Structure 1
Amino acid sequence: PRATPSLRYLETLAPFSEHHHDNDGDDSIDAGPTGGHMWDGRAGSAHAQAGMPLLSPDEMANASVEDVAHKLAASGYAAQMREAFGAGVFDSAQAAFAAAGLALETFQQSPADFYPFSSKYDAVLRGQAKLSAAEARGLAAFNDERRGNCAACHISSVTADGAFPLFTDFGHVALGVPRNRELPPNADPAHHDLGLCGPLRTDLAAHPEYCGLFRTPTLRNVALRGAFFHNGRFHSLEEVVRFYAQRDTRPQRWYPRDAKGRAQKFDDLPAAYHANVNVEAPFGGEPGGKPSLSDTEVRDIVAFLKTLTDADLQRPASLGSGVVTR
């Protein structure tokens, strides 16, 4: 099982490609595997993605396409589906399943529901609001290549053509996230979720250089999440930022230790694939060295990330603090 990825801000997500060149006029730099829906990019479109949770044993766990079609035909909106897709939509299980996927795909194209760009940061970009001192410091650390370097993958600036940032480049990267021992499959020490090279994705199994890579998610509305990274290992946004800053300088904080007290880094990835793990800033440094971010900078980045919550997901001030998590 994997943590549920956000379906917001995917309107420009392209199908998976092993080679990607940014639209900046320089085709000499290959950004590597990019795009595709799901953590491993295996769904080539929103339509393909929409059907996957319906049949996943870890999600809706329907037994088959026929099972889904039967439930759709018995649902309270069956008449609406006949009106939209024709009176014979339920004559074929495949047709009914495809219609459901198309309905979900169309719904996900609704700007108000899936890409409203209504956060405080969007208001700042429009000149309608200002960041607090802590939020501004957090943005500076977020963008600084020597500190957070978050914007290297989670792009924070308006694009050359004026589009607001999605806070992701949709690239695939291995981060060496600690193993989540609360997941039942991980009770088997031989089980590993290797992202691009399996087990859910099978077409890249012969590419060891892709093992451990997962698609970079948007950071919009990240403050609402209760589980972070593909395996849901972390449950606190502050701990996530701190992990980035201290993964290599404080490995004993994040990974189990062997009999001699040495941290066993990248314990959710077989040793043969450790070389795939990203070592660019904010990662790097020697154990016991200075982390790339101070505790204050970690908190400032979290303060900034909270400005990325869309207005429709924020709890009105009259109802107290907190957010809704629909």
Structure 2
Amino acid sequence: MIRAGSVLLALAALLFTVAVASRERMAAGQVPAGPRLSAMAQLGAKMFFDPALSASGQKSCASCHDPAHHFGPPDGRSVQSGGPHGELSGIRAVPSLAYLDRTPPFTVGPESLYDQDAIVAVPGTVNAGAKNPLGPLKGQAARKHAGQPNDVPQGGLFWDGRADTFQQQALGPLMSPFEMANKDTASLVAKLRKATYAEDFRRLFGADIFDHPTRALDEAGFALSRFQIEDPRFHPYSSKYDAYLHGHATLTPAERRGLALFNDPDKGNCAACHLDKPTPDGQPPVFTDHEYEALAVPRNPAIPANHDPDYYDLGICGPLRHDAYAHQNANCGLFKTPTLRNVATRRVFFHNGVYHSLKQVLRFYADRDTRPGEIYPRRADGSIAYYNDLPPRYRRNIDRIDAPLNRKKGDKPALTDAEMDDIIAFLKTLTDR
């Protein structure tokens, strides 16, 4: 007689094998059969994994947004390469595409549509002069626009918020000269016309779809957006912390200490921007308030564009954003606060990829102003090149109010090495399983 326990073990082993095989197929770009994804999303998945859609024929969306790395970069390079022949270097670190589905459109309004105490996102716009129902404003809001302290940039996709929808975001890298480098709509649509899935386009959008390049490009962006929305791998909420929030897991002592430091307004104060509580309607936290900060991380010499001393990446103010917001001095040097989900698996941090470990990131926060010589390079005369990746005229935008960035040179840093290790232990609980 076969024991029930043996049967259960065998069944568990079989299910594990199937799950691993499924992950391997998806990582290789093969879309599983069945009702899990709509026909539109399956078309988007085929495009997402297709290197033929790049000018070089070597870069797909998945090349930089690897499913095996939670849709983030697959290696520790500060920026990824692309271009017509794959020879051009990017100018910013590749952000993850995971957990973007609840990102609101870019707007400027009262801080905040999101709150440290888990205020749920409010769709639409808000009056800039409205009274903030959340009480006293935090650092960024207190600094923004003299006479309009409530005005805070928030929402949008990319580091600078220049895209409001997944459709806009998906088409950006396809046309970027240093990414997939299609020179125009016609050249990209010509590739789609020759793709192995061209018949899928005709079936979904009409037999004459490729005779209308602008519409074909719009539909391609829509299919890519449906893939990001429908595929649960982009937002699985399967981490240990999610299990902990549901009462199904227990944090270790180090993880508990790290969580306390993460929330402590005088220590890590991470939760001021990386919200860690469920929303009132029960949605799990995405670990960002979708707002923007000028943190003044040091210049990264590994980015070729930075070899020009007159070049600066100013976030909302460009070089990639060109609307009215890009011409407002108060927005210069501000970059979007990313989600911290799966952050412990990343090897590149901040918009310019200057750091490659969580310990370096936490030391930056603790030492930026207390021990600046540990953060910024020195000039030929031995003086410290403070805030060396932001022109002096924009340095008033830098966050010097919110802990742990509210200290001065010589002050005791907000975090010890041991406390940083505890925060890192907690951050590891945010990794999806």
Task: Give the corresponding residue for 2:57.
Answer: none
Of residues 244, 257, 268 in structure 2, which corresponds to 1:137? 257
Q: Does 1:66 align with 2:186?
A: yes
- Deviation string 1:124-171 (CA, Å, 9 cap, x unpaired) is 011111111111111110100000000000001112222111000000
Task: Give the corresponding residue for 1:298.
Answer: 420
Task: Give the corresponding residue for 1:217.
Answer: 338
Task: Give the corresponding residue for 1:41.
Answer: 161
TM-score scaled by length of structure 2: 0.70
Task: Give the corresponding residue for 1:317.
Answer: none
Where in structure 2 are the equivalents of 1:1-326 lying within 5 Å? 1-20=91-110, 21-22=112-113, 26=133, 30=150, 32-110=152-230, 112-203=232-323, 204-279=325-400, 280-311=402-433
Q: Quote the offset at 1:196 in angstroms.
A: 0.7
**Could you tell which deviates more after superposition, 265-274 or 252-261?**
252-261
Q: How many residues align?
A: 311
Distance 1:154 1:130 in 2: 21
Give the residue type in structure 2 aligned to 1:22.
Answer: L
* Percent identity of equivalent pairs: 51
User: Contact 1:178–1:255 at 8 Å: present in 2 too?
Assistant: yes
Give the residue type in structure 2 aligned to 1:26.
Answer: P
Distance 2:157 2:265 in 1: 28
Distance 1:76 1:265 in 2: 53
User: Contact 1:31–1:171 at 8 Å: present in 2 too?
Assistant: no
**Structure 2 portions without partners, runs of 5+:** 1-90, 120-131, 138-149
Distance 1:133 1:264 in 2: 40
Q: Quote the offset at 1:111 in angstroms.
A: 5.3
Q: Quote the offset at 1:254 in angstroms.
A: 1.3
**Could you tell which deviates more after superposition, 259-268 or 144-153?**
259-268
Q: CA RMSD in A?
A: 1.5
TM-score scaled by length of structure 1: 0.92
Give the residue type in structure 2 aligned to 1:71.
Answer: K
User: Contact 1:155–1:165 at 8 Å: present in 2 too?
Assistant: yes
- Deviation string 1:243-296 (CA, Å, 9 cap, x unpaired) is 111111111111111234222111000011111011111113222321110000
Task: Give the corresponding residue for 2:87.
Answer: none
**Could you tell which deviates more after superposition, 106-115 or 289-298?**
106-115
Task: Give the corresponding residue for 1:316.
Answer: none
Question: Which structure has the larger Rg over C-alpha atoms?
Answer: 2
User: Contact 1:22–1:31 at 8 Å: present in 2 too?
Assistant: no
**Structure 1 portions without partners, runs of 5+:** 312-326
Distance 2:428 2:134 in 1: 35
- DSSP-derived class of the 2:107 partner: coil
Task: Give the corresponding residue for 1:323.
Answer: none
Task: Give the corresponding residue for 1:318.
Answer: none
Q: Quote the offset at 1:201 in angstroms.
A: 0.6
Q: Quote the offset at 1:240 in angstroms.
A: 0.7
Task: Give the corresponding residue for 2:55.
Answer: none
- DSSP-derived class of the 1:131 partner: coil
